[in-house]
Amino acid sequence: MTIAKSNRIESIDLLRGLVMIIMALDHSRDFFHHDAFAHDPLDVNTTTVYLFFTRWITHFCAPVFVFLAGTSAYLQSLRKTKKELSVFLIKRGLWLMILEVLLVNLIVTFDTNYELIALQTIWAIGTSMVILGLMINLPYKMIFTIGLLIVLGHNSLDFIEGKHTEPFGFWWDLLHRGNFAVHNVYGNHSLLMIYAFVPWSGLMMLGYCFGKIYQPSINFIQRRKTLLWIGSSIIIFFIVLRASNIYGDPHQWSVQRNALFTLLSFINAHKYPPSLLYMCMTIGPAIIFLASFEKIKNSLTQIIIVYGKVPFLYYLLHFFIIHLISAIAFIMRGHTYAEGMKGFLGLKFLMLNDGYGLGVVYFVWIAVVVSLYPVCKWFSEYKLKHKEKWWLSYL
């Protein structure tokens, strides 16, 4: 069978594929590093340079993925009516939210009782898609304005949160704060709110508006200049605002024991929820990447693009494989199945201060990514051959 020609923008798939590969490093660290849950790898008082950057580089994953999800929505608007796109985004968003609760949590925790249900990346993407789907009929400038106000302004709530002494309420954590807050739902079932979706929704709106740069009427030279200008401006904005220590992140940077650790403090932006500076720090370089790699094509980029074309399948499989290998390693270290089922922080087959060094983490990461390439390539080609199958657009 002849494979249909794809009209996808490969530089976007390349960037998405790269962040998906990097994402697996963070999750390998979660399940295999002996210090994964004992100390914050970004705490400049206790971390090492290698551990810091192992965690820090993965900061690019979630914001870039959410931003590009918005961009992909705009590109779909070039071939769909607003009504069709609105319905699709709402339905796909709801589908992702359901899968986060029922499937992703099962894969991540191995807990069939769902005692602790985490609302994280897929939940934030799903809710953001629903919101974008509801807003799709608004004028472009209004969507851009709302997205910009959310991204620029949500850190004004830091001043309120800083003075707050009581536990935050359910809706505050769900909409804005998140930050691993736990809220009981019923019985022994609780919600772990990691990704508060409002800031992420603002970022997806800006990603949607960003998609306008990829209109067919804009040529490569013009787009490259625009991308370089936008990306550079965001990076400069990050440096100036971060240096001021006035606004944009709930935690200030400070001078440390040497210049290197002072730099680590400077770039250690807050993710839960994603601060303005966190989003600038990650999206600025991502846009520079898009400008730099649009016309670059070689065997390595073609491999990375494969992962970017099937991100959801990759997301599910990499989590399952990493956790499965972790469970096997747990038993091989001499622990019992009963100990594994007790788990730690809702994750089965994990214990505090139990695991391996960064060398093993990196080995597992590379092995998992490489092992997933054949199935990702097969599914990518299957999707291209069977565009008539509507359900593939939801995966």
Q: What is the pLDDT of residue 4?
A: 43
What pLDDT sits at residue 8?
77
pLDDT at site 3 = 41
pTM, whole model, 2 decimals?
A: 0.94
Q: Considering only CA atoms, which of 365, 314, 281, 294 is closest in space to residue 60?
A: 281
Q: How many CB atoms lie within 10 A of CB 303?
A: 15
Residue 389: per-residue pLDDT: 76
From edge to edge, which strands make up the β-sheet containing 189-193? 116-119, 189-193, 181-186
Q: What is the longest distance spanned by two Cα atoms in the chain?
A: 64
Q: What is the 3-state secondary structure (H, E, C) of 28-96?
A: HHHHHECCCCCCCCCCCCCCCHHHHHHHHHHHHHHHHHHHHHHHHHHHHHCCCCHHHHHHHHHHHHHHH
pLDDT at residue 7, rounded to an integer: 60
Rounded CA gap, 104 and 96, in Å? 10
> Is the bond preceding 273 in cis, omega lying within 30 degrees of 0?
yes
Predicted local distance difference test score (pLDDT) of residue 180: 86
Neighbour tally for 255: CB within 10 Å: 10
Q: Across-strand partners of 192?
A: 118, 182
Distance between CA 293 and CA 255 in Å, rounded?
Answer: 36
SS3 call for 104: helix
Beta-carbon contacts of 381 under 8 Å, excluding residues fewer than 6 positions away, are 3
* Predicted confidence pLDDT, tens digits, the chain (395 residues): 344 444 678 999 999 999 999 999 999 999 999 999 888 999 999 999 999 999 999 999 999 999 999 999 999 999 899 999 999 999 999 999 999 999 999 999 999 999 999 999 999 999 999 999 999 999 999 999 999 999 999 999 888 877 777 778 888 888 888 888 899 988 889 999 999 889 999 999 999 999 999 999 999 999 999 999 999 999 999 999 999 999 999 999 999 999 999 999 999 999 999 999 999 999 999 999 999 999 999 999 999 999 999 999 999 999 999 999 999 999 999 999 999 999 888 899 999 999 999 999 999 999 999 999 999 999 999 988 877 777 777 77
The CA distance from 17 to 314, in Å, is 10
Return the amino acid letter for 158: D
